[in-house]
Structure 1
Amino acid sequence: MGALPAAAVRSEVGVPATDREITFTVDGTVTYGTLHIPVHRRGRQMPAVLLLPGSGPTDRNGDQPPAPTPHTLAKLAEALGRDGAVSMRFDKYGTGRTGLGAYAGNPETIDYPAFVRQADAAYRLLADQPEVDRRAVRLIGHSEGALTALQVAVTAESRAAGVGLLQPLAQRFLDVLARQLHDQLAAAVAAGQMSRQEQRTIGRAVDRAVADLRAHRPPDTTGMPPALAALFQALGGPNRRYVETIDALDPASVALRLPPRTPALLTCGTADQQIPCHTTTRLATALERAHTRGPGRIVLFDVAHDLTDPANPEVLAPATLDALHRFARHGTR
């Protein structure tokens, strides 16, 4: 994928930029999405990017209810469009117009591979669009979506022209969750909201519950505050199948299976409290060992998990945009 200079995009005449509603069916469920076509010369085929959302009920725009924020994927689509790239984003299972679809009657049966199949179908559909150069289709995943991007890039029949991992889930799912909870406990102690003894008691309960989930046992929530106990009960209850299947994957091990010379980008933000940069080191090393091409890991200074500068959260941070441009300059395969 090669980025066009902004002046060149503005000088294009012919077809104006547009958003097109798009649908596809996987496992008996209709998925709804948005195909963003930038301004372009009629008949010209363009590079394209499939955008994949983070964890939880995150919709095609990168938002979670009840507030329609932070628009992470919508902002990425806009930025990519300014550089002359088509993009596609969709409402994954449990979000937006897609909802649970065929899983509505038995939501506990949905697993992580279902989300990968959904993303793989979207990737193939994007490559088949008449405005798209099928040799220049990339995947960009944000947070948990980065693992999905890796999975699709590893198994796609039509080789991806690149994979971007933005503030990625870089460790096993439950390891990330446990670390986040331990960090929150430490912050509560620092703020005088909890004693160190309470921190140790709750911390041991978190580790015990994680071990229970990995041993396929109902998590023991003894010693946890009610809200934390409810979280683990949900993880071991209606979400058990999803949790077990995504936690079984080590992102670094998945990255080692990427085709050699795949252009790869990994970003981490120094203001990101959810995915600190030090947690991405094994994944960055795995990308090197897989003999991927650059730009590799880029540290985004003063950038938060949603890819913005906390001082100006309405737009993507300049460092984020610069990383995307560097990724784009590593051309097609």
Structure 2
Amino acid sequence: MFRHLAVAVMALAAVTTATAAPASPAEATTRLVPAADREVAFTADGTTAYGTLHVPRHRAGQRLRAALLLPGSGPTDRDGNQPPASSPDTLAQLAGALDGEGIVTLRFDKYGTGRTGLGAYRDHPEELDYPAFLRQARAAYESLRDQPETDPHELLLVGHSEGAMTGLVLGGTVRPRPAGLALLQPQAIRLLDLVTLQLQAQVDEATRQGRFTPEQQHTIDAAIDAAVTSLREHRPVDTTDLPAAIAQLFEAFQGPNARFVESDDAVYPPDTAAALRPGTKVLLTCGTNDAQVPCATTNALTNALRHAHTGGPGRVTLPAVDHLMHDPDHPSTLAPSVLGALHRWARH
């Protein structure tokens, strides 16, 4: 009887062992990990910056394409907002769109926003210049590269407005080089040239509405041109002939923001395209309702990308889309044409 009992116990042990055996490598790779967000921290210039890493649903152990999301100008946080005045959630919505393409995203609070704050620049914010923001973005790229879910050979840069210019500059200098860039409504000419275009367009509209005479418009336009020349030549700006709001803007440009404005204006985006790796897949969007970055301002950059032998899809014109990538039927979400352009770029 004991012999039969021992055999039974051994058989039971064999069954128990079989059911408790670890999953095979093939079984492990088929296990799906649900989509999740987590807080990420990285350091640049002695300041800890904070961001959100979004990882789409994926197979356990899978390495995914990954995109660094770069915000536009001003105090724009990780979600693409400037609270309380503006909360379009531009970057958060881009992260959601790229989740659908199976792409990991990292978005972060740039200097002066969110959990990051001013950090090491707290007591001297006037020393913040454009290269400081570039160094912060480079540190974010390296943090994204080192995440366990990302494929370091399939890194991407996705920038909106000024963030697109930042992505363009980084694209030719970071290691490893990115596989692709999405330049969304990009700052594609020098900063002060873009400011001039924007201000003179506003003055033209005000003249059309009867708030200025044609003679006053001519005077104001000339004063704007002179103010830009003075800034670039490091001379005081004469604001005598400028409306109060425009005068205040130029006073800020030569005051606490002088260092940033000068260093940002020194970058001519088309010149940076030559450093991109040939074959880099580039999407450049412009919206026909974008008053801040009109499509015509992207002509030189589009040509430079072609001469740099970058890949497609290239420039995509988005009908009725504004600077925040909305259209009249989608005033608070990314327009379908934007999502379609991102999908085509991601497929490349």
The answer to whether TM tops 0.5 is yes
CA distance in 2, matches of 1:204, 1:13: 66
Please list every run of at least 4 consecutive aligned residues from structure 1 whose deviation after the TM superposition is greater than 6 angstroms. Answer: none
The superposition leaves residues 31-77 of structure 1 with CA deviations (integer Å, 9 ceiling, x where unpaired) of 11110111112111111100001111111111112135111110000
Match of 2:95 in 1: 77
Match of 2:206 in 1: 188
Match of 2:266 in 1: 248
SS in 2 for 1:155: coil
- For the pair 1:323 / 2:334, whether they are aligned, the reply is no
- Matched ranges for 1:59-74 at <5 A: 59-74=77-92
Quote how far apart the aligned CAs of 1:216 are.
1.3
Match of 2:27 in 1: none
SS in 2 for 1:245: helix
Match of 1:300 in 2: 318
CA distance in 1, matches of 2:71, 2:236: 29
One of 172, 187, 191 as aligned partner of 1:154: 172
CA distance in 2, matches of 1:302, 1:227: 28
- Once the two structures are overlaid, the 10-residue window that deviates more, 153-162 or 282-291, is 153-162
The structure with the largest alpha-carbon Rg is 2
Quote how far apart the aligned CAs of 1:311 are.
2.6
Match of 2:17 in 1: none
Matched residue type, 1:80: L
CA contact (8 A) 2:35 2:56 kept: yes
Matched residue type, 2:79: N
CA distance in 2, matches of 1:324, 1:41: 23
Match of 2:131 in 1: 113
CA distance in 1, matches of 2:237, 2:120: 28
The superposition leaves residues 292-327 of structure 1 with CA deviations (integer Å, 9 ceiling, x where unpaired) of 011110111111111111331222111101111111
Match of 2:122 in 1: 104
CA distance in 1, matches of 2:69, 2:328: 22
- Matched ranges for 1:12-161 at <5 A: 14-161=32-179
Query: TM-score, with normalisation over the residues of structure 1?
Result: 0.93
The superposition leaves residues 138-160 of structure 1 with CA deviations (integer Å, 9 ceiling, x where unpaired) of 00110011110011111112111
SS in 2 for 1:22: strand
CA contact (8 A) 2:101 2:346 kept: no
- For the pair 1:285 / 2:303, whether they are aligned, the reply is yes
SS in 1 for 2:59: coil
SS in 1 for 2:114: coil
CA contact (8 A) 2:183 2:284 kept: yes
SS in 2 for 1:307: coil
Quote how far apart the aligned CAs of 1:218 are.
2.4
- For the pair 1:226 / 2:252, whether they are aligned, the reply is no
CA distance in 2, matches of 1:288, 1:131: 33
Instruction: Tell me the percent identity.
Output: 56
The superposition leaves residues 150-200 of structure 1 with CA deviations (integer Å, 9 ceiling, x where unpaired) of 111111121111111000001000000000000000000111222112211
CA distance in 2, matches of 1:148, 1:54: 9
CA distance in 2, matches of 1:13, 1:55: 41
CA contact (8 A) 2:35 2:57 kept: yes
Query: TM-score, with normalisation over the residues of structure 2?
Result: 0.90
Match of 2:226 in 1: 208
- Once the two structures are overlaid, the 10-residue window that deviates more, 177-186 or 16-25, is 16-25
Unaligned runs of 5+ in 2: 1-29
SS in 2 for 1:177: helix
